Amino acid sequence: MVDYIIDQNLAILAVNNPPVNALSHHVREGLVEGIKKANANDQVTAIVIIGKGKIFCSGADIREFSNHAAIKDPVLTSVGHTIENSGKPVISAIHGNALGGGLEVALFCHYRIASESARVGFPEVLIGILPGAEGTVRLPRLSGLSFAMDMIASGKQINAKDAFKHGILDKVCTGNILEEAKDFAKKVIGQPLDSRRLSRINVEDASNVDAVFEVALAQVKKKYKGQIAPIYCLKSVRNSAKMSFDKAAAEERRLITELMLGYQSIALRYSFFAERSASKWRLPCGASVNNTKPSKIESTGVIGAGTMGSGIAVCLIRAGIPVILVEKDPKMLEKGMETISGILDGSVKLKRMTPGQKAKCMEILKGATSLDKLSNVDLVIEAVYENLELKRQIFAQLDKVCKPSTLLCSNTSTLDIDKIASATNRPDKVVGTHFFAPAFIMRLLENVYGSKTSPTTVATVMELGRRIGKVTVLVKTCYGFVGNRTHQCFGAEASFLLEEGCLPQDIDQVLEEFGMAMGPFKVSDLSGIDVGWRIRQEVAKAAGFKLTTETRYHNGERISTVGDSLFEMGRYGIKTGKGWYKYDPTNLRKPVPDSDVADVILDHCAKMGLQRCKIPPQEIIERCLFAAVNECFRVLEERVAEKPEDIDVIWQYGFSFPRYAGGPMFYASQVGLKRVYERVCFYHEKFPYSSHWIPSDLLRKLASHSVEIPMSQWKEFVNGSKL
C-alpha cells in the first residue's frame, strides 16, 4: 500500500492504493512505518511522499466512515504527527490531486511541491464533514483565515499556481515531479525544521477572526441553505485563531465526529457513491458497461431549435462535437442560433469560457431547414414538440435520410421509445436521450432503452453523456420513464393541494424549506406551462378523451386542471412573463406571487364545489414526497430502474432533490419503510381517486419485515424473488 524505496540518500514513500490512493488503514500504517524506518536509517537524509498512478491522494477512504471499526489506529492525525515530528525533512510531491486527507498529509509535511497541472482542495464539505485531520487548523496558518474559510466551506479545488500564491505550496514544478522532489529535498537537507511545522506557528490575521467569520457565515448561509457542514467548517477555522493549536484540533475532532454521525453526512456519502454507481449500467440481457463498446460519435444533428434543442446543441458544441441544427421554420432557426450564441455569451461573461472558445463552438454549429442535411451524421437527437405522430413521421424520414449506422435519439419527456422506434427499420439504433431543462445547465441525462435498443446503442449514449459532462442514468422505456413518471405524482399532489387550500407560493416555500432548490410551481414556470399542457393533451388523446378545464375525473382518476386554465390565459411561465407567478421583464429570475393566479384558483374551486382549508406543512411534504416514493417503488418493481440509487440520482440532478437528503428512496429508507407504507395506505384511503396512492407491492413486501431491509437488498425483493 506504501512502497518504500531508497534512492541515494532519500527515502521515497510512494502511496500505492489504486484507483485514487485513498488513505485506507493499510496506507496509514505504511506511512507511519515508512517515516519511522527512514528516520532509523542513518543513510537517509530526507523523505519524499508521492502518489503512484494518476493522483497523489484522494483523501480518507470514505467507505471506512460507515464502518467505524475501520477507523482504527493509526488514525490520520497520528500519521500526521509522525510525519511532522520526523527529524528529517519530509517533502510531499503532488501530482494530479491532493484532496481532503491527502492535502492534510501534505500539510503535515515540512515542504510541499506540486506539478503545474495539480489541483488541491478540501472536498469534505461535499460529503457533509470537515477536514478533520487538522486541515481546518493548519490551512489558515498558511493561507490566512478568509481564504481558508472560503476554500474549506466551499469544497472547491484550486490549481497549483493559486495554491502557491496562497502559501499552500512551496514550489510549482514543470518537470517530472519525482525528479524535482529529489532536487528540492537535497536543497533543504539540514535546514531547521521547527519553523516548517505548522503546529508551531500562529495564524497571522487572528485578531480579525470575528469580522471575517461573520462575513463568511452570511455568505455560506445564503449559498448553502439548509446545510450544516459549511457552518461547522467556518466555526472550526475560527477556532484555529481563537484557541491554542491543540485545543482547536481537539475541537475540530469533536465537530467532525458530530457531523459524521449526522443524517446529512450519511446522505451525502450515499450520494457520492450513488452518483458513481449510475454510470455502471447493465441491461437485463447481461450486456453492461464492462462488456460493450460504444460507437464513435464525431458529428451530430439536433432537430428542433426550441428550448430543448438549443440547450442540447450547446451541450454538444461545448464538448467539441459538431452539430447540424435543423428547424422547419427559418425564423425559428435564426432565433435558436441567437439563443445558443446568447447562452455562450453568458458563459463568457461568467468567465467559464473565453471569447475564443465561444467562437470555436459557433464554428462547429451549422443551421439547416431540411432533414436531408443529416444524411452523414453519426447521431441525431430529435427535440420537436411532444407529439407522437410528429415524432414518428420525423423518425421515419430520418431512417430514410441518415446513413445506416446513424443512431436516432429522441428527447421525448414521456413517450414510449418502442412506439417511436417502430416507425423505423432500425429499432436497435433508436434510444431516448432525455435531457432536463435548461439542458445546458441541468447535469442529468436520462437515457432510455426500448425493447429493441442494442447494447452498442446504449453504450454509445452513455458514453456521450460522460463526454458532455452529464451525470447519466440508464432506464427502461415506459410512460414518463423514471424522472417524469415519478415526478408527475409529486406534481399531481401539488396541484391537488392547490384545490384544497394552498397557493403555489405556499407549496413552493414548504418544499424549498425541505431543501428542494425550487418548488414545483417555479419549476413549471421555468420549463413551460404549455409543455405540461401539451403532455396532458397527448395523454388524454391517447386515452381517448377530451381534456378541458371542466374535467375533474377520468376513468375514476382525479385530475386537476388549474394549470390548463393558466395555459388558456396565455400564461406559459417565464417565457411569457406570467405563469404561476408574474415576472418583471428586467428580472426574470425573481418569481413574484400574483393575486390573479390566486383568483383563478379560487374561481376554479368555487366552480368545482371544492372546499378549501389550511393545510399544514407536514402534509404538503408527505403528500408530494410519499406519492412520488410509492411510484419510485413501482418503477423499481417493474425494473424500469435497475437500482434505487439510479432513482435518487435522477431526482438529485433532474429535480434538485437536496443531496443532503439523498433522494426519495434514501429519504424513505431513513423515515423507515413501515412508516412510509402506513402513510401511503392512509392517503390511499383518503384519496381513492388517485391511483398513485395504491400501495406498491414492493413497498408492502419490504415494510412487512420486522426489521428494516437495507437499501442494498431491496432489489432482491423484486418479482417475488424474496417473500
Ligand X SMILES: NC(=O)C1=CN([C@@H]2O[C@H](COP(=O)(O)OP(=O)(O)OC[C@H]3O[C@@H](n4cnc5c(N)ncnc54)[C@H](O)[C@@H]3O)[C@@H](O)[C@H]2O)C=CC1
Ligand Y SMILES: CCCCCCCCCCCCCC(=O)CC(=O)SCCNC(=O)CCNC(=O)[C@H](O)C(C)(C)COP(=O)(O)OP(=O)(O)OC[C@H]1O[C@@H](n2cnc3c(N)ncnc32)[C@H](O)[C@@H]1OP(=O)(O)O
What is the binding site for ligand X (CB under 6 A)? 303-309, 326-329, 332, 383-386, 390, 394, 411-413, 435-437, 527-528, 531
Four-CA torsion 15, 18, 20, 22, nearest 10 degrees: -60
Query: Which is nearer to ligand Y, 19 or 544 (by Cβ)?
Result: 19
In angstroms, give the least distance from the CB of 446 to ligand X. 9
What is the distance between the alpha carbons of residues 428 and 449, in angstroms, rounded to a whole number? 9
Residue 59 binding target from ligand Y, ligand X, none, CB below 5 to 8 Å by type: ligand Y
Backbone φ and ψ for 692, nearest 5 degrees, come out as -70, -10
Residue 305 binding target from ligand X, ligand Y, none, CB below 5 to 8 Å by type: ligand X
Backbone φ and ψ for 98, nearest 5 degrees, come out as -120, 105
4, 16, 53, 71: which one binds ligand Y (CB under 6 A): 71
Secondary structure (DSSP) of 615-666 = --HHHHHHHHHHHHHHHHHHHHHTTSSSSHHHHHHHHHHHH---GGG--HHH
Q: For residue 59, state whether it binds ligand Y (rule: CB under 6 A).
A: yes
Q: Is 104 a catalytic residue?
A: yes
Residue 239 neighbours by CB under 8 Å, 6+ apart: 136, 137, 247, 248, 251, 252
Residue 309 binding target from ligand X, ligand Y, none, CB below 5 to 8 Å by type: ligand X
Out of 29, 64, 116, 124, the active site residue is 124
Query: Which is nearer to ligand Y, 135 or 695 (by Cβ)?
Result: 135
Q: For residue 508, state whether it binds ligand Y (rule: CB under 6 A).
A: no
Closest of 529, 512, 666 to residue 597, by C-alpha: 529
Residue 34 binding target from ligand X, ligand Y, none, CB below 5 to 8 Å by type: none
What is the distance between the alpha carbons of residues 571 and 565, in angstroms, rounded to a whole number? 9
In angstroms, give the least distance from the CB of 542 to ligand X. 14
Query: Beta strands of 359-481 (E only): which ranges?
Result: 365-368, 379-382, 407-410, 430-435, 444-449, 471-476
Q: Is 493 a catalytic residue?
A: no
Query: Which is nearer to ligand X, 96 or 309 (by Cβ)?
Result: 309
**96 — alpha (psi -120 to 50), left (phi > 0) or beta?**
left
Q: For residue 370, state whether it binds ligand Y (rule: CB under 6 A).
A: no
Residue 385 binding target from ligand X, ligand Y, none, CB below 5 to 8 Å by type: ligand X
- For residue 695, whether the previous peptide bond is cis, meaning omega lies within 30 degrees of 0, is no
Per-residue x/- marks for ligand Y, 81-100, CB under 6 A?
A: ----------------x-xx
What is the distance between the alpha carbons of residues 495 and 468, in angstroms, rounded to a whole number? 35
Query: Which is nearer to ligand X, 158 or 383 (by Cβ)?
Result: 383
Four-CA torsion 249, 254, 255, 261, nearest 10 degrees: 140
Out of 29, 84, 104, 678, the active site residue is 104
Closest of 462, 520, 562 to residue 654, by C-alpha: 520
* C-alpha cell, 302: 439536433
Residue 61 binding target from ligand X, ligand Y, none, CB below 5 to 8 Å by type: ligand Y
Q: For residue 58, state whether it binds ligand Y (rule: CB under 6 A).
A: yes
- DSSP class of residue 293 equals P
Q: For residue 254, state whether it binds ligand Y (rule: CB under 6 A).
A: no
In angstroms, give the least distance from the CB of 624 to ligand X. 19
Residue 281 binding target from ligand Y, ligand X, none, CB below 5 to 8 Å by type: none
Q: Are the C-beta atoms of residues 355 and 332 closer than 8 Å to each other?
A: no
75, 206, 231, 348: which one binds ligand Y (CB under 6 A): 75
Contact stretch for ligand Y (CB under 6 A) within 257-265, 581-589, 602-610, 689-697: 257-265
Residue type, 437: A
In angstroms, give the least distance from the CB of 6 to ligand X. 60
26, 36, 68, 254: which one binds ligand Y (CB under 6 A): 68
* C-alpha cell, 699: 413497498
- DSSP class of residue 455 equals H
Q: For residue 20, state whether it binds ligand Y (rule: CB under 6 A).
A: yes
Backbone φ and ψ for 476, nearest 5 degrees, come out as -95, 150
Instruction: Please work out the total of residues on this chain that contact ligand Y, with binding judged by CB under 6 A.
Output: 31
* 593 sits in which H/E element: strand 587-593
Residue 594 binding target from ligand Y, ligand X, none, CB below 5 to 8 Å by type: none
Would you name the residues annotated as active-site residues?
A: 104, 124
Residues in contact with ligand Y by CB under 6 A are 19-20, 22, 58-63, 68, 71, 75-76, 97, 99-101, 104, 123-124, 127, 131-133, 135, 256-257, 260-261, 273, 276
